[in-house]
Amino acid sequence: MASITGTRQVVLVSCRAQLDMLGKKVHKDNIIALSWHMPVSFNPVMYAIAIGKTRFSRKIIDESGVFVVNFISDKLEEKALFVGRNSGLHMDKWSKAKLTKEEAESVDCCRIKQAIGYLECEVASQVEAGDHIIYFGKVLKQELKKNSKRLFQVEGNKFTTTV
């Protein structure tokens, strides 16, 4: 199996939906750690994220049609590892990772208060790409709250930051 190498910035993507779970409607807020993401359009402003087909967050985004890309500093490395290693299907990753929710302004979703910036996105389209789905999000609101060193994944559990 070929591996994809190269240092990539880590983001935490938050999502929310009402899901049918065991015959009941359940409100779920979740977070997923990703390093496959990029800007894809200036007009309109669009951003793409790639999520594995088996991930719980994919089900939430498919249901709600929205997500928030949260840019994080290198100081959130342990939280990013926790979020990336665990599923939110049967756990509240927000409380376990000790991340603070704040309501997004343009989509029905929350964003991470500790993030240094965010993009509030509405799904414009999606494309199947092997074992992943690429979501193209129209950016409805964006903000860089502060300049800070960002977290980059070198490979596996090895991280670095900007200089």
Work out the end-to-end distance of the chain between its first and last CA atoms, rounded to an integer number of angstroms. Answer: 33
What is the model's pLDDT at position 107?
Answer: 98
Backbone angles phi, psi at 150, to 5 degrees: -100, 160
What is the model's pLDDT at position 4?
Answer: 63
Higher pLDDT, 41 or 90: 41
Assess if residue 134 is contained within a domain: yes
Over residues 114-162, the pLDDT tens digits come to: 999 999 999 999 999 999 999 999 999 999 999 988 877 767 777 677 7
| Number of domains the chain is built from | 1
User: 3-state DSSP call for residue 79?
Assistant: helix
What mean pLDDT do residues 52-67 have? 97
Assess if residue 104 is contained within a domain: yes
What is the model's pLDDT at position 23?
Answer: 87
Distance between CA atoms of residues 102 and 83, nearest Å: 17
Note down the domain range covering 125.
9-157
What's the predicted TM-score (pTM) here? 0.92
Assess if residue 105 is contained within a domain: yes
What is the model's pLDDT at position 152?
Answer: 72
In eight-state DSSP terms, residue 37 is E
User: 3-state DSSP call for residue 114?
Assistant: coil
Assess if residue 2 is contained within a domain: no
Over residues 33-56, the pLDDT tens digits come to: 999 999 999 999 999 999 999 999
What is the model's pLDDT at position 123?
Answer: 98
CATH number at residue 131: 2.30.110.10
Task: Reply yes or no on whether the pLDDT at 1 is more than 50.
Answer: no
What is the model's pLDDT at position 126?
Answer: 98
Assess if residue 24 is contained within a domain: yes
What is the model's pLDDT at position 128?
Answer: 97
Q: Which tokens sit at 24?
A: 């009941």
For residue 39, whether the previous peptide bond is cis, meaning omega lies within 30 degrees of 0, is: no
Assess if residue 163 is contained within a domain: no
At a CB cut-off of 8 Å and minimum separation 6, what does 140 contact? 106, 107, 120, 121, 122
Assess if residue 37 is contained within a domain: yes
Assess if residue 4 is contained within a domain: no
